[in-house]
Amino acid sequence: MSESPPTRDSSRTLELRVPEMDCPTCAGKVRNSVDRLDGIDRIEPRVTSGRLIVEYEPTVTTEGAIRERVKAAGYTIESNASELTLSVPEMDCASCANKIENALEETDGVEEIETRPASGRVTVTTTEADAGNVTTAIEAAGYEATATGDDTQLADQRAVWKSRRAAGTAIGAVLVAAGMALEFVFSAADPTLVSIAAGPVNRTYELSHLLFVTAVVVAGTPILWNGYYSVRNRSLDIDFLMSVGIVASVAAHHPFEGAMLAVLFSVAELLERFSMDRARDSLRELMDLSPDTATVRREDGTEETRPADELAVGDTVVVRPGEKIPADGTVLEGESAVDQSPITGESVPEDKIEGDEVYAGTIAESGYLEIDVESAAEDSTLARIIRMVEDAEREKTDREQFIDRFASVYTPIVVVLAVAAAVVPPLLVGASWSYWFIVGLTLLVISCPCALVISTPVSVVSGITNAARNGVLIKGGKHLEAVGDSEVLAVDKTGTLTTGDLSVTDVIGLEGADEEDVLRRAAAAERRSEHPIGEAIVGYAEEQGVVRPEDEADVSEFEALTGKGVRAEIDGDTHYVGKPDLFDGLADLEHVHATTDGGVSLAEMGYETTPQPQCERGGCLDVLEDVVPDLEAEGKTVVIVGTEDRPLGVVAVADRVRAAATWAVSQLHEQGVRVVMLTGDNEGTARAIADEVGIDEYHAELLPDEKLEWIQRLEETHGDEGDDAHVAMVGDGINDSPALATATVGIAMGAAGTDTALETADVALMGDDLTRLPYLYDLSGKANGVIRQNIWTSLAVKAVLAAGAPPGFVTVIHAVVIGDMGMSLGVTGNAMRLANVEPETPEMDSLQE
Q: Residues with catalytic annotation?
A: 492
What distances in angstroms separate CA 168 from CA 215, 244, 497, 812, one per listed residue? 9, 20, 60, 21
In the DSSP assignment, the letter for residue 157 is P
Contacts of 523 (CB under 8 A, 6+ apart): 537, 538, 540, 541, 542, 546, 547
Rounded Cα–Cα distance for residues 250 and 246 (Å): 6
What distances in angstroms separate CA 695 from CA 587, 661, 727, 780, 803, one per listed residue? 39, 10, 16, 22, 53
Output the DSSP codes for 376-418.
Answer: -GGGSHHHHHHHHHHHTTTSPPHHHHHHHHHHHHHHHHHHHHH
Rounded Cα–Cα distance for residues 88 and 96 (Å): 10
Question: Any idea how long the chain is?
Answer: 849
Q: Specify the pairing of strand 40-46 against strand 110-116.
A: unpaired
Rounded Cα–Cα distance for residues 849 and 88 (Å): 52
**Alpha helix stretches (DSSP H) within 527-627:** 532-543, 602-605
Amino acid at 247: V
Rounded Cα–Cα distance for residues 222 and 201 (Å): 32
Q: Specify the pairing of strand 763-765 against strand 745-749.
A: parallel
Rounded Cα–Cα distance for residues 775 and 771 (Å): 7
**Max intra-chain CA distance, the chain:** 133
In the DSSP assignment, the letter for residue 378 is G
A 10 A CB-CB count for 206 gives 20
Grouping H, G, I as helix, E, B as strand and the rest as coil, residue 387 is helix
The residues with which 639 forms a beta bridge, in sequence order, are: 651
Contacts of 599 (CB under 8 A, 6+ apart): 509, 514, 515
Cα-flanking dihedrals φ and ψ of residue 151, to 5°? -70, -10
The residues with which 115 forms a beta bridge, in sequence order, are: 122
Rounded Cα–Cα distance for residues 365 and 321 (Å): 5
